[in-house]
Structure 1
Amino acid sequence: MEPEVFVDILSDSLFIVIKLVAAIVLPGLLVGLVVAVFQAATSINEQTLSFLPRLIITIVALIIGGHWFTQVLMDFFIGIVMRIPEIAG
């Protein structure tokens, strides 16, 4: 049981978290930027105008990317299970 194994598992898990969160957050950030530019150009200061499109895009990103998210997490879990002999022995 070497410490490098745990460092590899930790780095893989952090990379997966960053990748999955970015796939959810980045579309919302881009839509928020577009809406903010639109609000600044038209001087409309309605709160729901900035919140609702980001919410809808985030839900759409979850729906579209749900299968991919699940596949990435399943691959990671299978990789962890396959490493059990390396960790235990």
Structure 2
Amino acid sequence: MNQLLIIEIGRNALLTVIKVAAPMLGLGMAAGLIISIFQATTQIQEQTLAFIPKILAVLFAIMIFGPWMLNVLIDFIIELFTNIPNYIG
């Protein structure tokens, strides 16, 4: 196993993690932005107001994108396990 192969496996793992986390982070960020605009408009400066909508947005993203995220992770694991003989030899 050479260094380029290890770097390629690590690169694929990082890209998979980014791909899987993107929907949850995106919806959480959008919910935070909407709450921040609402707080700035109404001049409500309550710090805890943004937590519940962000949590709900992340849970919504998990419910909607969960099967897709699981398929992406399974595909990565299957590819990794299938290529174990190539990594050793």
Whether TM-score is above 0.5 comes out as yes
Aligned length: 89
Structure 1 spans left out of the alignment, 5+ residues: none
- Residue deviations 1:19-69 (CA, integer Å, cap 9, x gap): 112221111111111110111111112334311111101101011111011
Distance 1:72 1:19 in 2: 8
- Taking only aligned residues, the RMSD between alpha carbons, in angstroms, comes to 1.2
Instruction: Give TM-score scaled by structure 1 length.
Output: 0.91
Q: Which runs of no fewer than 5 residues in structure 2 stay unpaired?
A: none
Q: Distance in 1 between matches of 2:27 and 2:70?
A: 19
Q: Tell whether 2:77 aligns with 1:77.
A: yes
For normalisation by structure 2, the TM-score amounts to 0.91
Counterpart secondary structure, 2:45: coil
